[in-house]
Structure formats: C-alpha cells, structure tokens
C-alpha cells in the first residue's frame, strides 16, 4: 500500500553524467529488485526501501522551483522508478511532466515500466526528450527472481518499440548485466535491442555494495547461484564489455557505465 508524504524540494542537483537535475516523485520502490543499491547510497534498510511514498505536493513544489532554476536536463527516476505501480493512481510523474513542459526543460526518463507509454503524447511535445528502458536480461526466469515487482521483458521491449515508432528517442539501459548471460549471447542481445528500435545502449555491471551479493544470491536456485559466484570472481564484465563494443560497432551507440 502506498503511503503519502510532503516534500520540500522537487529538483535536486544530479551527479550523474549528462543530467543537471534529479526528479523523483516517489520514495521507495515496489519493483523490489534484489540488486538495488539505492538503499546503500541513501542509507536506509533494504526492507524499508520497498515501502513506497508518494510525494503528493511535488508538482506544486516543482512549479515554484522552475521560476528560478536555470534550464537544464532533468533526470526522472534517478533513485526510484517514476512509473512504478503507484503512478497509476497518483499520476505525479504525469503532472510533473506537464509542469516541465510549460518551461520546456529537457528530460531524460529511465524506467522498467511500460506505463511510460501512457504519457507518449506529452513526452513528444518536449523539444528534447529521451526515454531509457531498463532491461537486465532476456531470460524471464532471471527477471522474475531478481526483479519480482517489475514488468516482464516482453512488455519492456514492446515499450521500446512503441516509443521508437512514435518518434521518441529511446535507449536501453542494459544493466546490471546478470552474470549468467554468456559472452556468446551478447550478439543476440544487441540485435534484439536494435530490432526493438533503440537508438543507443547503456551498459552497466552489478554493483556489489554491502549486502547486495547476499540479496541476489538468496533469490537464486543453487545452480544459477554458483554461476553468479564464479563469474563475479573473474574478468566476466570486461569480457562482456569487449564483446559489446565489437557487436555494437557501426550499428548502435554504446555508452559504458562501468
């Protein structure tokens, strides 16, 4: 059940590359991803992060802040997903988009949810807008185990396709790459992402902050758990990255987050 809270600020300075501001209409996340490192960054218990709060006054706060803010790129969903299930009821992300559109601030949305499709017509009106869809694996079992509250792989790929077909600049955040993805599978991933209409791929590794490895392994069956353990000891991610560079070359832009 979503709880409600009031916020004092809407936009915060972003330390992420390419973003000037962060906007997160919700606190906590119902997607319950086992690898989420946000609790480590903001120093909250992992269990507490699964409690979702809607910042019910954020559109009003945002409107006031934009009167004095220098125009810059607003990253939407930098610590939580702005299109998680609570958005269906509260529509805070949609309301914030409408506020941002009045000043035509550039936006960069990142989400695991196909709910973003609801707002295509708003997003298209921005002079500069990008939507990133996070896809960590094409393996439905992995997604079910490690992202239990998130939409299916198919829904995400369909969202990429529809965004692209409607003229929205869309990219895929391929991260964290799950360690049971073989180097020989990289080509299939790249082709799948290109076929869906992605304009670029951003790749990231599994960030093993305190408690994350235990959280991930606890959700996996024994055989898969051993694969994760073994590959995380070696040069797995460097091999994946080298293969990604090779398969993307001349076909699609690759951005590296690790």
Tens place of pLDDT per residue across the chain (258 aa): 899 999 999 999 999 999 999 999 999 999 999 999 999 999 999 889 999 999 999 999 999 999 999 999 999 999 999 999 999 999 999 999 999 999 999 999 999 999 999 999 999 999 999 999 999 999 999 999 999 999 999 999 999 999 999 999 999 999 999 999 999 999 999 999 999 999 999 999 999 999 999 999 999 999 999 999 999 999 999 999 999 999 999 999 999 998
pTM: 0.96
Determine how many CB atoms are found less than 10 A away from the CB of residue 89: 9
What pLDDT, on a 0 to 100 scale, did the predictor assign at position 120?
A: 98
The C-alpha atoms of residue 185 and residue 167 are separated, in whole angstroms, by 29
- For the chain, the first-to-last Cα distance in angstroms comes to 35
Cα 170 to Cα 43, 91, 128, 205, distances in angstroms? 32, 22, 12, 21
Residue 10, CB-side half-sphere exposure with 13 Å CA sphere: 25
37: nearest Cα among 205, 193, 196: 205
pLDDT of residue 33: 97
Burial of 107 per CB tally in 10 Å (0-12, 13-18, 19+): buried
> Residue written as tokens 């699964």?
50
What confidence score (pLDDT) does residue 17 get?
Answer: 92
Q: Are 244 and 201 in contact (CB under 8 A)?
A: yes
Q: What are phi and psi of 197, to 5 degrees?
A: 110, 10
Specify the CATH number of the domain 3-256: 3.20.20.70
């Amino acid at each position: 059940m979503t709880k409600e809270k009031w916020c004092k600020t809407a936009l915060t300075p972003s330390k992420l590359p390419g973003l000037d501001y962060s906007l997160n209409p919700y606190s906590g996340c119902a997607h319950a991803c086992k690898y989420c490192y946000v609790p480590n960054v903001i120093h909250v218990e992992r269990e507490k992060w699964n409690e979702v709060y809607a910042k019910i006054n954020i559109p009003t706060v945002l409107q006031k802040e934009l009167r004095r803010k220098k125009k810059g790129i607003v990253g939407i969903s930098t610590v939580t997903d702005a299109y998680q299930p609570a958005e269906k009821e509260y529509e805070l992300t949609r309301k914030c988009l409408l506020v941002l559109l009045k000043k035509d601030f550039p936006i960069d949305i990142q989400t695991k949810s196909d709910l973003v499709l609801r707002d295509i017509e708003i997003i298209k009106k921005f002079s500069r807008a990008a939507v990133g869809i996070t896809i960590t694996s094409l393996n439905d079992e992995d997604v079910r185990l490690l992202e239990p509250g998130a939409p299916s792989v198919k829904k995400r790929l369909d969202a990429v396709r529809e965004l692209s077909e409607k003229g929205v600049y869309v990219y895929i955040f391929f991260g964290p790459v799950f360690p049971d993805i073989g180097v020989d599978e990289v080509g299939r991933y790249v082709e799948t992402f290109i076929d869906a209409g992605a304009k670029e791929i951003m790749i990231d590794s599994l960030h093993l902050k305190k408690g994350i490895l235990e959280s991930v392994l606890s959700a996996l069956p024994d055989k898969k758990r051993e694969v994760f353990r073994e590959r995380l000891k070696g040069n797995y991610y460097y091999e994946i990255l080298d293969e990604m560079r090779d398969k993307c070359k001349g076909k699609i832009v690759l951005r590296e987050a690790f």
